[in-house]
Amino acid sequence: MDCRTARLLLSFARPLVSELETSDAEALEKHLADCLECESIAHAERQADERLRLAMRDVPISPDFRSRLLGRLSYERRAWYRRWPIRHPRITAAAAALLVAAVGFSVYLSIRPAPGIDAVAIRDRAVEQRGASSDVVEKWFRDKYGVQTVAPPTFDYAYLDSFDLNGDRVPQLLFIRGNYRAHVWILSSKQFDVSSLIEQPRTESGGHTVEFQAHPANPSTIYLIEYTGPSLAGFLVEGQPAT
């Protein structure tokens, strides 16, 4: 396996290698064992995933939210049992139909064939995405996933390598310049408490820096940026303030 293929497959090897065919996973592991450069990228990817996971776990929830939620649920449940089933035979029938549908769906999930991975399509997409403009990025998320995004305006898209939704349906962009790279997650106020996240200070360790950045004009979008290298400045458009 060559380095180019290894790096493409890396995006599928996280966080679990199970998405890859066994032979691909083995070839990748073998390459990583032999190739210091790819192994260091793989290591950085794992760290980035872990940092994102931690950042999301730390999103604050108001202290009484849980008790209010539980109270509301138990109220709804009691109300539901009072009405059910004599007064509303049609609801009973609908509930039974839903149950049948749910069982059917879980059976379908358990017997459907495991999805394959098309290496050529992945390669073609990577080639197509490299250096795409912010407009192309936003259109791609809209057309493919129906997700409205605001791509970071301060970045120089000449260094854009690739982009996609990650597993948590958060749009993610990867910029690469020389030996350094910057991962950018686009966080929307629809999914995250952006006003408290943006208050979090920059954190740096082991050559990795993580920081949140506001959009210059759009208060409902912030960026979680994880990058390697001495500063983010090299990834930004000339004349943008280096952070």
From 35, 119, 136, 147, residue interacting with Zn ion (rule: CB under 5 A): 35
Q: How far is CA 109 from the centre of its chain?
A: 23
Distance, in Å, from the CA atom of 86 to the CA atom of 91, rounded to the nearest integer, reads 10
Coarse DSSP helix, strand, coil percentages of the chain, rounded to the nearest 5 percent: 50, 15, 35
Minimal distance, residue 6 CB to Zn ion, in Å: 5
Q: Where are the beta strands (DSSP E) in the chain?
A: 160-165, 171-177, 180-188, 203-205, 208-214, 221-228
44 is a contact residue toward Zn ion (CB under 5 A): no
Of the candidates 182, 169, 189, 147, the one whose C-alpha atom is nearest the C-alpha of residue 44 is: 182
33 is a contact residue toward Zn ion (CB under 5 A): no
**Which of 34-42, 84-92, 103-111, 155-163 is the region at the interface with Zn ion (rule: CB under 5 A)?**
34-42
From 3, 91, 98, 107, residue interacting with Zn ion (rule: CB under 5 A): 3
38 is a contact residue toward Zn ion (CB under 5 A): yes
**Which of 2-10, 17-25, 186-194, 208-216 is the region at the interface with Zn ion (rule: CB under 5 A)?**
2-10
Minimal distance, residue 11 CB to Zn ion, in Å: 14
Number of residues that bind Zn ion (CB under 5 A): 4
How is the beta sheet containing 208-214 ordered, strand by strand?
Answer: 160-165, 171-177, 180-188, 221-228, 208-214, 203-205
Closest CB to Zn ion among residues 3, 93: 3
In sequence order, which residues have a C-beta less than 8 Å from that of residue 153 and are 6 or more positions away?
A: 134, 215, 216
**Which of 9-17, 38-46, 56-64, 100-108 is the region at the interface with Zn ion (rule: CB under 5 A)?**
38-46
List contacts with Zn ion (CB under 5 A): 3, 6, 35, 38
